[in-house]
Structure 1
Amino acid sequence: MAKIVLFCLVLVQLAVVSERQHTALEPKPLKIYEKDGVRVPAYDFKSLEYFLNKKNDTTYVVNFWATWCAPCVAELPHFEKLNALYKNRKVKVLLVSLDMRKKIESNLIPFIKRKNLKSDVIFLDDLNANEWIGKVDAGWSGAIPATVIFNKTERKFYEQSFTFDALENELKQIIR
């Protein structure tokens, strides 16, 4: 019995160490903007790459958008619906805002609150778009909305707007 208890304690310690190592890899935001109960972390592209290259058992849907982009705003409810429908199926939606830094507190945060966005939202604080756009996808012109859907075995990039059905169909092709 004592050996079983000791074995269980060792397993718990290994899990804690593993979780610490995983968390330690996640980059710290450059800044965290907070207002009216809404929290938006800001990352430069080097740190954002961590979120674009995860290799685990989750499928990620990463949408690049901005509050000033009408097609982006029009498709956000589809990402929110996808996030809600697939939240228990190892699918994670990440909304990467390309709004201007000076508009985060006046536009982005009130928009998130008003639209009651539940998906994770981060702000990409990196003005050198010519350097990082091609790192997201070599064929990306830089136009938004743009979306990356990936998991550890497959990755697809879309420079387009989505209907819910089209977005879900693309997700299903990857999570099959």
Structure 2
Amino acid sequence: MTGYRILYVALSLVFCLSCKEEKKNTLTATEVYRNNGIEIPAYDFDGFQPLLNIKDGKVRVINFWATWCKPCVAELPYFEMINKRYPKDQVEVILVSLDLPSNVDGKLIPFVRNQNLESRVLLLDDPDANSWIPKIDKEWSGAIPATIIYKDNKSKFYERSFTYNELEKELSKFDL
């Protein structure tokens, strides 16, 4: 009987630890903005951070941008082209808006609708930029546009804007 108790406790511990690990890799939105069929989840950095660590063989292109940033807006069509060119199980494009939450309904959602953005769009709403910016990249000044391209344990950070050909060239370094 004691052997079963030990086995039960051991299995319970393994189950709890695996649940904790699963939660660690789960995105947790603080809010979801909805308007005219468009849904934009908002995350603080802790809720967003698991997106930076997914290891499933897929290339992720994570672009930090805002509607008020002209160079950001100018390069968005290239990210959309990448999103359409590659199968979803190979490449995922994620557009991380740094717009203010007060501008989501009046600016961000209309922008997403007017530009027909099909890439995944989310809002990073964490006012403590000095704490989360270096967690993205130690050298990042916080200027946008900025992009991370990663696949499993290989990652590259770019604090600049891109043309379509430049994006393709960088993606080719990730064994697509």
- Following the alignment from structure 1 to structure 2, what is the Cα–Cα distance between the partners of residues 89 and 171? 15
Q: Distance in 1 between matches of 2:128 and 2:88?
A: 36
Q: What's the offset of the Cα at 1:96? A: 0.3
Q: After the TM superposition, list the runs of 4 or more consecutive aligned residues in structure 1 that deviate by more than 3 angstroms.
A: 21-25
Match of 2:35 in 1: 35
SS of aligned partner of 1:141: coil
Change (3 A) 1:126 1:88: closer
Residue 153 of structure 1 deviates from its aligned partner by 3.0
* Partner in structure 1 of residue 60 of structure 2: 60
Give the Cα separation in 2 of the matches to 1:150 and 1:173. 10
| Structure-2 change in CA distance of 1:111 and 1:168 (3 Å) | same
Q: Is the 8 A contact 1:61 1:149 kept in 2?
A: yes
TM-align CA RMSD:
1.7
Moved more, 138-147 or 166-175: 166-175
TM-score by length of 1: 0.85
Q: Deviations over 1:101-159 (max 9, x none)?
A: 10000000000000000000000010000100000000100000000000113100000
1:149 aligns with 2:155: no
TM-superposed deviation, 1:27: 2.5
The percentage of aligned residue pairs carrying the same residue is: 47
Q: Distance in 1 between matches of 2:87 and 2:69?
A: 26
Matches within 5 A, 1:62-77: 62-77=62-77
Structure 1 unpaired stretches of 5+: 1-17
User: Partners in 2 of 1:139 and 1:81 — Cα distance?
Assistant: 28
Rounded to whole Å, the distance in 1 between the matches of 2:90 and 2:54 is 13
Asked whether the 8 Å contact 2:28–2:48 carries over to 1, the reply is no
**1:4 aligned partner:** none
Instruction: Please report the TM-score for the alignment, with normalisation by the length of structure 2.
Output: 0.85
- The answer to which of 25-34 and 103-112 deviates more is 25-34
Q: Matches of residues 65-104 of structure 1 in structure 2 within 5 Å? A: 65-88=65-88, 90-104=90-104
Aligned pair count reads 157
AA partner of residue 148 (structure 1): I
- Kindly provide the amino acid, as one letter, of the partner of residue 146 in structure 2: A
